[in-house]
Every structure is written in structure tokens, then in C-alpha cells.
């Protein structure tokens, strides 16, 4: 398999559903890559999965650059997407361009940012500069304070229409794919059928062209996972037991031996 690129991701629409996930370091990125994961998102979800924050909001661009650099060193074939954290693109397009370039220089093949109509100018500028952009509409975690919590979006006809228009708008200015997060399955299916670029769902049902799953949910590393997530392993239990066994063996002098 050759290195996944933006053209290959777009060509997969309607041909092959893609199972994609997050990673935040070289070790897990290498394992995901070897398993055939086509896209790895170095998400701002590093905040609540790795750095111990309650939300993604405290993550800064330096956190993202460091994680992108590590992930890029661990993969050979997957497309690496660097997430633009809160504050890295809301404070003016010039700063946003600088931060996007930093992520690309760190090893990202593309960047992802949240928002629909309100960020079309920025997406257009980035794509014209040769920076591939994945858009993100629906429930956008960086707007958690506006929502009053992590809540499904698009449940009313008016809200659904807004999200549909957001998706169309970001495609029109060059986004190569659109993440749909926590929207009704019927809305995700409608958007997927309307767009010519792939949709990547997370809590948006089976009709999307691809799926995101946070690595820590997939592997059972979190104490709790969202209702839409599936735990394919319970590595957290195994790791905890390994630590416990190690401490006990040192205490009993069974290790080192």
C-alpha cells in the first residue's frame, strides 16, 4: 500500500468505508498504521485523553505540534491530520495560517478545524496556499461553552438546515472531507449523499463514508466512553494489572531475579 494522500481519501467515497482513529504519540501511531488505519487524527482530544483536562479548550498549538511530530515519525502509510486547537485560528487569519504551516512542517499531511460558514474564508485561503483542510461541523467540541455541554446538534429542522448549509459551504471552498460529529443519523446520511467529498462520522451513524474513533475509547483506556463508541479491547485493565504485578514482585523481591 502506498502512502494515503488526500486524492486517495476522496477517491474512496462510495467505494470503501474507512475506519480511522486518533493517536497522539509515535508508539500507538505505528501500531495503528501497521494495522491499516488510513487516516490518523492528532486531535485536540489530546486534552481530555492524554493531558488530563476536562475539555479540549486548554490545548495549545505547541501541544499539537509536539504530538503531530511524534505521530508523523511513527507512520509510513496513514494520512496524518493535525487538529487546530482552540485559539490557534480564532484570532485572525494570519495567525491561523502561521499555525497551520507549523503543523504541516511538523509532519501533518493536512489540518482540521471546526466551523462551517464562519470559517469558509480561512479554509479557502488555506487550500489556495496548498494546505489540505478537513472541515468539522455539527457538534464542535471547541464550542462546548456555547452549547452548555457536549450535546447532539441538528435535532430541529432549523438546526439541521444550518449544519447542512455549513457542510455545503466548506466543501465549496475546498475542504477535502468533512467531519460530522454528534448529529442525527438521518442528517448525516443526507449530508453524505449531497456532498461529493467524504464525510467522516463520529457519533453520526453508519451512513458516513468513514468513521472516527478516539484511540482511548477504541482500546478501553478511558474509564468512560461515549455511548456511540465501541471498545475493541480493555487494555486499561491489562495495564493496571501489569503495574500491580510489578509493584508486588518488587515488594516480594521476585523482581529483579
Query: Per-block average pLDDT, block size 10, for the chain (257 residues)?
Result: 92 98 98 98 97 96 98 98 98 97 98 98 98 98 87 95 98 98 98 98 98 98 92 97 98 95
Question: What confidence tens digit (pLDDT) does each residue in 177-235 have?
Answer: 999 999 999 999 999 999 999 999 999 999 999 999 999 999 999 988 999 999 999 99
122/96 Cα distance (integer angstroms): 8
User: Would you state the pLDDT for residue 1?
Assistant: 61
> Residue 49's domain spans which residues?
6-218
User: What's the Rg (C-alpha) of the chain?
Assistant: 19
Residues recognised as catalytic: 181
Is 84 within the bounds of a domain? yes
Asked whether residue 227 is domain-assigned, the answer is: no
Q: How many structural domains are present in the chain?
A: 1
Establish if 83 belongs to a structural domain. Answer: yes
The pLDDT, as a whole number, for residue 151 is 87
Flag whether 85 is in a domain. Answer: yes
Residue 200 phi/psi, 5° resolution? Answer: -120, 110
Which CATH number fits the domain that encloses residue 198?
Answer: 3.20.20.60
Note the pLDDT of residue 146: 86
Residue 226 inside a domain? The answer is no
How much is the pLDDT for 240? 97
Amino acid at each position: 500500500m502506498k502512502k494515503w494522500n488526500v486524492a486517495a481519501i476522496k477517491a474512496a467515497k462510495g467505494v470503501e468505508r474507512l475506519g480511522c482513529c486518533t493517536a497522539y504519540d509515535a508508539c500507538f501511531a505505528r501500531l495503528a498504521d501497521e494495522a491499516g488505519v488510513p487516516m490518523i487524527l492528532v486531535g485536540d482530544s489530546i486534552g481530555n485523553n492524554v493531558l488530563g483536562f476536562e475539555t479540549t479548550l486548554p490545548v495549545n498549538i505547541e501541544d499539537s505540534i509536539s504530538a503531530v511530530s511524534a505521530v508523523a515519525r511513527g507512520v509510513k502509510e496513514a494520512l496524518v491530520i493535525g487538529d487546530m486547537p482552540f485559539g490557534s485560528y480564532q484570532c485572525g487569519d494570519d495567525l491561523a495560517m502561521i499555525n497551520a504551516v507549523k503543523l504541516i512542517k511538523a509532519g501533518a499531511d493536512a489540518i482540521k478545524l471546526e466551523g462551517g460558514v464562519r470559517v469558509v474564508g480561512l479554509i479557502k485561503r488555506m487550500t489556495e496556499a496548498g494546505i489540505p483542510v478537513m472541515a468539522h461541523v455539527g457538534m464542535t467540541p471547541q464550542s462546548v461553552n456555547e452549547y452548555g455541554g457536549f450535546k447532539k446538534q441538528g435535532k430541529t429542522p432549523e438546526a439541521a438546515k444550518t449544519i447542512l448549509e455549513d457542510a455545503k459551504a466548506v466543501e465549496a471552498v475546498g475542504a477535502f472531507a468533512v467531519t460530522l460529529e454528534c448529529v442525527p443519523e438521518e442528517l448525516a446520511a443526507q449530508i453524505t449523499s449531497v456532498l461529493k467529498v467524504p464525510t467522516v462520522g463520529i457519533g453520526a451513524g453508519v451512513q458516513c463514508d468513514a468513521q472516527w474513533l478516539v484511540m482511548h475509547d477504541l482500546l478501553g483506556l478511558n474509564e468512560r466512553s461515549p455511548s456511540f463508541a465501541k471498545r475493541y479491547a480493555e487494555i486499561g485493565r491489562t495495564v493496571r494489572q501489569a503495574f500491580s504485578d510489578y509493584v508486588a514482585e518488587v515488594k516480594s523481591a521476585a523482581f529483579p531475579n
